[in-house]
Amino acid sequence: MDPKMDSGFLLPNETLEDSYNVLAPILPEEVIGIMDQLLCYEMAWHTGYPLSQTLFTSVYIDKLLWPEPKTVEEAQFYRGDLPAGRRPGVLLEVLRAYCLALVKCCDFVIAKITGRDYFEEEDFCTHTYNRVLFVQVPLDVFLRELDAAVERMEDTDLEMSSSLRKAIISRLDFRRDFLRALDLDCPLEHLSNYWPPILSNLTSIFTTQQLGKTVPGSFSTKIQRRLASTVPPRPIVELEFKDAFEKLKQLCIDCEEATRFTSLEPDPLEYQSFLLVFASRAPTPLPYSRSYLATLLFHPQILNATSSLPLTDVRTLVLPCSTILSPANWSFSPPRNPLLPKPPRLQLALLVDEFIERTGQPYLDFWTALGQNTCRLRRMLTHVIGGWDQLQTDASIVDADLMRVVTEMGMRDEVMDSPLTVWVYQKKLWMIEKCVLLGFEQDIYLPDEYGGMYHFLSLISGRRKVVLEAISAHFVTRARQLQHADQLPEAADVEDGAQHIASLISEADGVSSLGAALASFYTVLLYLKVLPRPARPFSSQELRFELRMKPFLALQPPEVPPFKDWLDKVQPYGPYELPSPSFLADVQNADSQLWSNMDANIKRAKEAFSAVMKIGATNAKCGGVKEAWARDVKGVLASCVALGIAVAGVRSRVARSGGGIKMEVEMGVQGLGIGIEIPLMGTAKRYAEGWVVAKVVKG
């Protein structure tokens, strides 16, 4: 018989069941030990392990949940009646209350996570192995049990040292607060009150942890035989208390941060920046925290705000104070006679409605992706971009109709060309940029690909900048028109809105310039043969290019440059092994176009990001995450400075080396004294995670 194939296989003298007696009296130290152990397993579950290898290994929890109790009263460590003398003591009753509340916590967590988009067994395991985690029992029952337990502990007849008593009570208090915070029906307005008390209670649990005494016998892998019959028991997941405690703290802090979402300006762009900042929090928020935020985002109170989110988005970006979006349009009724033409304003309303409805799914997909962790966000974005590409085609059809109606109404000059298409296109380009930047953030690309990918990034953001400039021009015209028409408040609104566009333009300009500078910097490094280049006997540059561009190849209009053009840009001097002689001349001449272009781009990027900083968080629609936003912009500025230093370092070394460079370039000999250090992800050595700036060191 094979123990790996047969879950019922027992070694000689091994028993199927455990002999641990759950009714045996326990010491207060042991109660603390068990509670803390349970907390460790709870957090291990939160990080993605199944219940069977974590909480469900507890004999106490098993006895509570199986055989399935019909009522909470029945959920005891025993079933049926016991003679009065054998009933569990006070401490066991306290432990029972704690376990019941813990189980209900799990129930809440599962409900919250399964209520939103998550990936079973990748993010989280929701399997409960046919155990019902008191789904039907309301919260207050558990609160009552906990309160009763606290009362029992406070009873002076109970002999126990006061530190132990306090330690147990603080654990019960924590469980009560935690359970309350996890409740699914917390009203939005009071959300922020739930997390701070937990955080304040946590320290006392941490400091009293050493009072506890572990009871290894009360946890067993054997229970798994009854949970999942087809797999033999797997080892218990051991998470150290210190680490579990950190996870718990992080969970509470992240959730507290998420509650700030409810106080944001009701603006989709603010939501977007909040979600992005939340996803890139370090360490990465646990699945529960992400679901918590996503639940807030998709809360009916937020989603069904007065005007629809995509509509607000469109208005902010392309149709400021426009007749097309005037609320009055929606008050017209169609003519009684269906043969008569509809009033033009009603036609506008219908067209906008049609477009907004069409936007719904891609828009929702985009938000869903934003609610994931950054790794999945990057992968999901590649699909979302496809959806938006389709949307762009449809938008152009609606745009044509809109233009026709607007021309009929004689206000063609009040509306920019194809506003909806422009809106979709701008968003799509932003997503492509984000996708590439996230790739850098997550070390998807190898150092010898940096040049090519930064070049692509620079290309895309350059395109976005052109689109944004057209929008900006429209804002200027529109403001002037409104001023002429003496609609001064509206004109002021448009001018305010133009600030946001200005911020976007500067940002796109900065990304494009810094991308271009980095691309040529890494290209030079490749020619100098100081970047590691792995041997790739079975691939070609063209295939690798195709692979990296795969998510963007099908887009219309095409965003990916033809391979030949791209190659000309990343290999301007021919193959890296054998550069043309002009490379030597250029690289050794500190005043050559090669270096001056790089410097100019860095300077331009610095100016652009400084401008973004100056225009401010509120205008960047990042008002809700001001601090994180400022940190990010400063990080990018620091990256510009670091790149300037790195470029100067390489240039001066190459200039100093004189003839040695010829050897280096032509034969690949290392001897110039240029060494390169690539800061890896997560080492906190990058100023901004998406901008990898190599450091020049003595080689």
Partner 1 sequence: MDNTEASVYLSQFIGKNLRIHTTDDRVFGGQMKCTDKDRNIILALTYEYRAPPADVIREAVEASGNPSVPVTWNSRYVGLVVVPGPHVKKIEFEDSGRSGVVL
Q: With contacts defined by CB under 8 A, name the span among 210-218, 226-234, 272-280, 445-453 that binds partner 1.
A: 226-234
**7 or 209, CB closer to partner 1?**
7
Sign (positive/negative) of CA torsion 558, 564, 565, 570? Answer: positive
**7 or 316, CB closer to partner 1?**
7
Question: Does the bond joining 310 to the residue before it have cis omega, within 30 degrees of 0?
Answer: no
Nearest approach in angstroms of CB 8 to partner 1 is 5
Listed residue (62, 21, 19) closest to 38, CA to CA = 62
Q: In angstroms, rounded to a whole number, what is the distance separating the alpha carbons of residues 125 and 51?
A: 7
Nearest approach in angstroms of CB 73 to partner 1 is 25
Question: Does 180 contact partner 1 by CB under 8 A?
Answer: no
Q: In angstroms, rounded to a whole number, what is the distance separating the alpha carbons of residues 274 and 370?
A: 10
Question: Does 697 contact partner 1 by CB under 8 A?
Answer: no
Nearest approach in angstroms of CB 62 to partner 1 is 13
**18 or 443, CB closer to partner 1?**
18
Question: Does 225 contact partner 1 by CB under 8 A?
Answer: yes
Q: In angstroms, rounded to a whole number, what is the distance separating the alpha carbons of residues 627 and 477?
A: 34
Question: Does 11 contact partner 1 by CB under 8 A?
Answer: no
Q: With contacts defined by CB under 8 A, name the span among 7-15, 87-95, 284-292, 659-667 that binds partner 1.
A: 7-15
Listed residue (380, 379, 419) closest to 398, CA to CA = 419
In the block, residue with structure tokens 């930064």 = 454
Question: Does 10 contact partner 1 by CB under 8 A?
Answer: yes
**15 or 156, CB closer to partner 1?**
15
Q: With contacts defined by CB under 8 A, name the span among 10-18, 238-246, 595-603, 617-625 that binds partner 1.
A: 10-18
Nearest approach in angstroms of CB 15 to partner 1 is 5
Question: Does 222 contact partner 1 by CB under 8 A?
Answer: no
CB-CB contact of 202 with 174 (8 Å): yes
CB-CB contact of 615 with 499 (8 Å): yes
Select the residue interacting with partner 1 from 161, 200, 210, 229 (CB under 8 A). Answer: 229
Q: In angstroms, rounded to a whole number, what is the distance separating the alpha carbons of residues 698 and 653?
A: 10
Query: What φ, ψ does residue 120 adopt, rounded to 5°?
Result: -55, 135
Nearest approach in angstroms of CB 159 to partner 1 is 34
Question: Does 15 contact partner 1 by CB under 8 A?
Answer: yes
**8 or 575, CB closer to partner 1?**
8
Q: In angstroms, rounded to a whole number, what is the distance separating the alpha carbons of residues 13 and 524?
A: 70
**222 or 260, CB closer to partner 1?**
222
Question: Does 7 contact partner 1 by CB under 8 A?
Answer: yes
Scored b (16 or more CB within 10 A) or e, 326-352 reads: eeebeebeeeeeeeeebebbbbbbbbb
Question: Does 266 contact partner 1 by CB under 8 A?
Answer: no
**226 or 544, CB closer to partner 1?**
226
DSSP 3-state of 360? helix
Q: In angstroms, rounded to a whole number, what is the distance separating the alpha carbons of residues 652 and 587?
A: 10
x/- mask, partner 1, residues 182-221, rule CB under 8 A, reads: ----------------------------------------
CB-CB contact of 691 with 624 (8 Å): no
| Residues 6 or more apart in contact with residue 386 via CB below 8 angstroms | 551, 554, 555
Question: Does 1 contact partner 1 by CB under 8 A?
Answer: yes
Sign (positive/negative) of CA torsion 17, 18, 22, 24? Answer: positive
Q: With contacts defined by CB under 8 A, name the span among 9-17, 208-216, 260-268, 529-537 that binds partner 1.
A: 9-17
Question: Does 226 contact partner 1 by CB under 8 A?
Answer: yes
Site for partner 1 in 405-424 (CB under 8 A): none
Q: With contacts defined by CB under 8 A, name the span among 15-23, 95-103, 296-304, 507-515 that binds partner 1.
A: 15-23
Sign (positive/negative) of CA torsion 150, 156, 161, 166? Answer: positive
**1 or 282, CB closer to partner 1?**
1
Question: Does 603 contact partner 1 by CB under 8 A?
Answer: no
Q: In angstroms, rounded to a whole number, what is the distance separating the alpha carbons of residues 420 and 394?
A: 9
Token pair of 108, please?
């809440």
Residues that bind partner 1 (CB under 8 A): 1, 7-10, 15-17, 225-226, 229-230
